[in-house]
Amino acid sequence: MDFNLTEDQVAFADAARAFSEQELAPAAGEWDLKQIFPKDVIKKAGELGFCGIYTPESAGGMGLSRLDAHVIFEQLAMGCTSTTAFITIHNMATWMIGEFGNSETIERWCPSLVMGEQLASYCLTEPNAGSDAASLKTSARRDGDHYILNGSKCFISGAGDTDVLVVMARTGAEGPKGISAFAVDATLEGISYGRKEDKMGWNSQPTRMITFDDVRVPVSARLGEEGDGFKIAMKGLDGGRINIATCSVGTAQQALDSATAYMQERKQFGKQLAQFQGLQFKLADMATELVAARQMIRLAAFKLDNNDPDKTTYCAMAKRFATDVGFQVCDAALQIYGGNGYIKEYPMERHVRDTRVHQILEGTNEIMRVIIARRLLSEGASSII
């Protein structure tokens, strides 16, 4: 096993780090405070290829691996967690269109999506279908050359400010096999958007409810065949879980770096904080757990890239572990800053707020445990090690 990054991956990391330091980090605090969605900066990310990282080359994307994407997203998250998290969601939705859309849909959307000129939202969650996504009620009824879309989606990142909505809707019977996926023009008649949610974190991206009222969606906008929607959604979420775990690790790495520097500058009782063994131990634990989380994500990405039979289990384990560790490391870094960590002059409180939601979205960490346990308890289950 070779744990070193390739030359290409090092180059990707360097480019992402430079963009993060120049374009994301300097403005992240203002975006959070004023709830600014930096679409112009996301477009700049698109110009570097960061909005279509693993979208197929045939659809205009870079066609990179999920491991490559992880390397890029970690560096971006060190600059702004919230904006990077939206970029990961945009990448997932763009990949779905590029991978499962027909030629007409790909030609309409992908050139502008991969460049960040237009943006995409992913619409799965509903008011009564969160963790139990297979029970969603939004319907798409076939009517000639169109589907009539009715229902609502909630907690949708970018809603009201994006151009295309990747929507999961029921075209058949109850359960996962009755769900289909669509690339829906966000400006179609009958689509309305709720108020922008006032959130604990992730303030540089808007979150709204979307309502569909007899929205006519062309049949050509369907992704895959009827009934493929839930399968497409779950494939997307395997990668999405790696992405959000990566955002946690990138943010936690930045928090650890800042806390390490702070300990060498701050003095109490006549000596540097770095000279107190108790804080040294805290720093050592933070670094150790962060490295473990990063390696677990990279293993899951490798499994996903190689279509391993247990890829979903590994992605669930990585998401559960890394998002928990990421939040804990950020919280520990805030503690090292003491009272300074709690005020907005320093970024620690923002790191804590932004990483907390990662334990909830892309499947709660409780659902991750369900996925892992079901695999272990399945009939005839073999070792996953």
Which residues have a catalytic role annotated? 362
Question: What pLDDT is attached to residue 383?
Answer: 67
CA distances from residue 281 to 126, 326, 336 in whole angstroms, order as listed: 44, 18, 12
130 pLDDT more than 90: no
* Mean pLDDT value across the chain: 96
Question: What pLDDT is attached to residue 304?
Answer: 97
Give the C-alpha separation, 284 to 9, whole Å: 27
Mean pLDDT, rounded, for 188-211: 98
Residue with tokens 């503690």: 335
375 pLDDT more than 70: yes
Q: 280 by DSSP, 3-state: which?
A: helix
Q: What are phi and psi of 51, to 5 degrees?
A: -105, 0
Question: What pLDDT is attached to residue 381?
Answer: 61
> C-alpha angle 137/171/189, rounded to 5°?
75
Question: What pLDDT is attached to residue 1?
Answer: 77
Q: 267 by DSSP, 3-state: which?
A: strand
Mean pLDDT, rounded, for 123-134: 89
- b/e map 344-383, b = 16+ CB within 10 Å: eebbbbbbbbbbbbbbbbbbbbebbeebbeebeeeeeeee
362 pLDDT more than 70: yes
User: Whole-prediction pTM value?
Assistant: 0.96
What would the pLDDT profile of 245-290 be if each residue is shown by its tens digit? 999 999 999 999 999 999 999 999 999 999 999 999 999 999 999 9
Q: How confident is the model at residue 53 (pLDDT cuts 50, 70, 90)?
A: very high
Q: How confident is the model at residue 338 (pLDDT cuts 50, 70, 90)?
A: very high
Mean pLDDT, rounded, for 354-365: 97
Give the C-alpha separation, 252 to 292, whole Å: 13
